[in-house]
Amino acid sequence: MKSYPVIEKHKAVWIWMGSAPADESKIPDFGVLDNVPELHTTKRDSIVIKANYQLIIDNLLDLSHTSYLHEGILGNADTVESEITAEQDGNDVIVARYATNSAPPGMFAQFWPNHPPHVDKFTKMRWMAPSTLRLLTGICKIGANPETGTGYHAIHLLTPENERSTHYFFTAVRWGVQTTEDKLNRNLQAKVAEMRRFAFEEQDAPVIEAQQRVIEDAMEPLDPVVLAVDVGCVRYKRVLDKMLEAEQR
């Protein structure tokens, strides 16, 4: 019977299935899950998306899609025109998007009782090879330091089932919490979990699965158009391709 090294960290069990010696330093940093109030977290949830895991990463790193695909929940018309930046930290790729003077999208408005009519909205997604991502997003007063606002950290873990199917695990932790009543926080805990699952299962998944079908049905090699919002996708694919090439060698 074959066995594999395992370690429990950040409220998850990590299994090292590689042929090289286990390297604990490769575990992604999900420290935001540690030692947080129970009412400030959402349940650990999962779905299956019938598509290659890289298509899901493409979707998560395209921060512009929230204004269209998740309008009213995570974005709105005010967040369409936003500055996008991309940087690399070792093998990690970080994509950020900042929208100023926008009405707070639905989920964020619930976090901030008596919020101002217009706020700055910020989103920063970190891809950690090969298929885990950590999101920091929130709103703050216009021109203020983002740390003075409120929002949530989101965890995305993708485990390929095969080339055309992926297990998608997710949870979230609120930060800068401005709601103090346990009853309200319990209600928000359930709402955030429900809205995020709806966004992934009913909005993201159909689009990503349609992309997978287009790829499978293509009669000749596809040449996707690369837009400015795809800068993070281009960056992470370069890193991942090098890792896959080195592993195959």
Domain limits of the chain? 36-248
Residue 147 burial (10 A CB sphere; 0-12, 13-18, 19+)? exposed
The share of the chain scoring above pLDDT 90, in percent, equals 70
Cβ neighbours, 10 Å, residue 130: 18
pLDDT band at 137 (very low <50, low <70, confident <90, very high): very high
The share of the chain scoring above pLDDT 70, in percent, equals 95
Locate 197 and state its tokens: 């699952």
C-alpha dihedral sign at 197, 201, 32, 12: positive
Looking at CATH, the fold of the domain delimited by 36-248 is given as Naphthalene 1,2-dioxygenase Alpha Subunit; Chain A, domain 1 (3.90.380)
Tell me what the mean pLDDT of segment 151-161 comes to.
96
Q: At a CB cut-off of 8 Å and minimum separation 6, what does 237 contact?
A: 54
pTM of this structure: 0.91
Q: What torsion do the CA atoms of 19, 20, 24, 26 make, to the nearest 10 degrees?
A: -90
pLDDT for the residue 224: 79
Tell whether the model's pLDDT for residue 71 goes beyond 90: no
Give dist(CA 138, CA 127) in Å, integer. Answer: 18
pLDDT tens digit string along 13-54? 999 987 888 999 989 999 999 999 999 999 999 999 999 999
